[in-house]
Amino acid sequence: MSTDVTSSTPPTPVAAKTDGGFSINSLLQRDLGQLPVLAALVLMAIYFNVSSDGLFLGSRNLSNLVLQSTVNATVALAAVMVLLIGEIDLSLAVVANLAGAVMVTLSVYHGFSAVAAIIAGLAVGALVGLINGLLVAVVRVPSFIVTLAALLGYTGLLQHLLLPQTTIRLVDANLTGIAANYLPDWLGYGLPILGILGYAAYAIFDYLRRRQLTLTTIPLWQLVVNIGVVALLSGLALYQFTSYLGVPISTVIVLGLIIVFWVVMRFTTFGRYVYAVGGSAEAARRSGINVSRIRVMIFVLASSLAAVAGILESSRTISASAQVSPTLLLEAIAAAVIGGVSLFGGRGSVWGVLVGSLVIGSLINGLILQGRTSDIQYMVEGLVLLLAVVVDALLRRRSAVVGR
Amino acid sequence: MAIEAQNARTTEPVLQLHGINKTFGAIQALRNVDFEVYPGEVVGLVGDNGAGKSTLIKIIAGVYTSDAGDYIVDGKKVTVTRPQDATKLGIETVYQDLALCDNLDVVSNLFLGREEASRFPFFLRFLEQNDMEKRTQDVLRQLDVKIRSVRAPVASLSGGQRQSIAVAKTILRNAKVVLLDEPTAALGVPQTRQVLNLIRRLRSQGLGVVVISHNLADVFDVVDRVVVMRLGRRVASFDIKSTTTEQVVAAITGAEFGDKTNGQGADAAEIAEEVH
């Protein structure tokens, strides 16, 4: 199929088969990236549900699953940011613990208020990210090495900070409440409704604007279906939470972060530049983009997100620990990759975090329900990660051929 | 023998370089080179490897700064020391590697670095995606470039289409002069035809176009005038209508003037200067 211009053809309009601005289809292609993973998630849910006699999909278990996945999802979101510019950050999990430790120490020993302690924790994350980012972007040390050094150094700093103990118990009720408390009903229902209305308003506005500019639009029925699907999914999630204890505050924070980062990455110049730097740093530089600035900002954002994860983790475990979870970072990167984010930069969406984290979270949760121990869990996790990458590689190779 | 074509033009050149010299250490890459492009003119810049084409182009693009000589745009002397200076003056260069982001779609690539965006309450700038898509369609139509979907990633396009996108990018920046470095290298026959057609389109829009090429067939197909460089000097400028390939090849290799100076070919350039 050739779309080439021959010199004899008279000027005709550009082929008008541009796809509509925003559709579930384009969302799947561009933002979720892979139906296979979604299908796998559904199959997995059905399998675990059957094998656990309906326990898995019970609202209590699902609420727990989501709560358990929040920390992983936040670190995965941080990992996605760094992966999108084609870099890596090995220090994310340690930075999470460090930020949690700073927050807990300040709250317990120095009488900081909850807000002040949280801000201090976030500031530590941002500072670490700034140092990492400057070393990577300005000094041009490979990010693998910079963040490996950070991983080692901050592990030591973390242990030093908590001496002579290895864990400190968190007492501030405001801080422990982040993970333990649920939204009041009016907010629990209000926020999702606000979200759906916001999406509907955007979708309709976008549709009308494209008509006005005589760009191709999606058919009207599809617009209605899109809004309906978003409303249905939000409604299902909301029903699931409210039929147990309500919407956990930590879940709202993580979902909010995913939505905010998705909007930033997809609809702003900053997001566009991040993808450009990940795609071709040289092309971005020649287009007048300050590549170093983007790199530094991404490392600051990623470490700050890691700090959020650490704060959530401290709140959930009611403590700060010198012991960094050996799997947190690796599972976060696994979640990002399962969610369709390329390790080579420039490809993947923030929404992949949600899918990937749910896959990892469901696996662990489901295997525990089956009474499997961690030896089996790790082996299955490894297998699933490998499977996801292989399927992704095969699909990509096919679409590369079809795309021509 | 008329080596210098007479430019019977009433307009002044949109871009003019005069007496350009450039040395790298002991090597003199350019000696007293003149160069000019008129609006609506396609100039081919040819020469053997090491003749100074690349150095000249880089000086025009602002990558190098000349040691001596004038850089004149629209009759006004200007200083160009950085690529941004040239870009601001409307002198755009499309390099062989095109500098596109394969993962981004056509619209994103065209507007990369100069997006249309609104300032929202925050410090973030929100993209006007639909307006950019509209302008992309307009520009591509204007250049007669056909692409299945302007939302397709650039990686899925053919070589000719990618070249077209890189050129269209310069049009969006309101270029006056477009420099194309080997635009048809590594392209197949239909792709090459597509790019040559695009160059004609640029000419009909009144732009000055400079094409650096090793492919004389392409050069003869599309240019109005060909400037020949040899050993750091401009040795000839031919009006393409009254020139044969043999004449151009002779000027490139220096064969026409013989090799009186043991292959240095210096006097050949001097002859050219005199005729000029």
- A93 CB neighbour count, 10 Å cutoff: 30
Pairwise CA distance, residues A70 & A93, whole Å: 14
What average pLDDT score do residues B40-59 get?
Answer: 90
**What is the amino acid identity at position A180?**
A
For residue B268, what pLDDT is reported?
44
**Cα separations in angstroms, A58 against A48, A192, A244, A245:** 11, 21, 9, 12
- B175 CB neighbour count, 10 Å cutoff: 23
Residue of chain B minimizing CA distance to A348: B103
What average pLDDT score do residues B141-167 get?
Answer: 88
Sort out which chain B residues have CB atoms less than 8 A from A14's CB and list them.
137, 140-141, 145-147, 150
For residue B9, what pLDDT is reported?
55
Interface mutation vs chain B, best among A2, A3, A5, most B CBs within 10 Å: A5
User: A182: helix, coil or strand?
Assistant: strand
pTM over 0.80: yes
Residue A299 tokens read as 């490392």
**Cα separations in angstroms, A273 against A66, B51, B73, B129:** 32, 38, 32, 14
For residue A23, what pLDDT is reported?
52
Residues 6 or more apart whose Cβ sits within 8 Å of residue A130: A296, A299, A300, A303
Query: Along the 404 residues of chain A, how does pLDDT read in single tens digits?
Result: 333 333 333 333 333 333 444 555 555 554 445 677 888 888 999 999 998 888 888 888 888 888 889 999 999 999 999 999 999 999 999 999 999 999 999 999 999 999 999 999 999 999 999 999 999 999 999 999 999 999 999 999 999 999 888 899 988 888 988 888 888 888 888 888 999 999 999 999 999 999 888 888 888 888 888 889 889 988 888 888 888 888 888 889 999 999 999 999 999 999 999 999 999 999 998 888 999 999 999 999 999 999 999 999 999 999 999 999 888 999 999 999 888 888 888 988 898 899 899 999 999 999 998 888 888 888 988 898 888 778 777 766 765 554 43
Residue A317 tokens read as 């475990």
Residue of chain A minimizing CA distance to B98: A283
Tokens 């950019």 found at:
B132
B-proximal residues of A, 177-236, CB under 8 Å: 206, 209-210, 213-215
For residue B136, what pLDDT is reported?
92
For residue A284, what pLDDT is reported?
92
For residue A27, what pLDDT is reported?
52
For residue A357, what pLDDT is reported?
93
- From the CA atom positions of chain B, what is the Rg in Å? 20
**B38: exposed, middle or buried (Cβ count in 10 Å: 0-12, 13-18, 19+):** buried
Pairwise CA distance, residues A354 & A369, whole Å: 22
Query: pLDDT exceeding 90 applies to what percent of chain B?
Result: 33
Strand pairing of B91-94 and B42-47? unpaired
Query: What ipTM does this complex have?
Result: 0.81
Cβ atoms of B21 and B8 closer than 8 Å: no
For residue A185, what pLDDT is reported?
83
For residue A390, what pLDDT is reported?
82
Walk across the sheet containing B15-24 and list its strands.
B27-37, B15-24, B68-73, B76-78
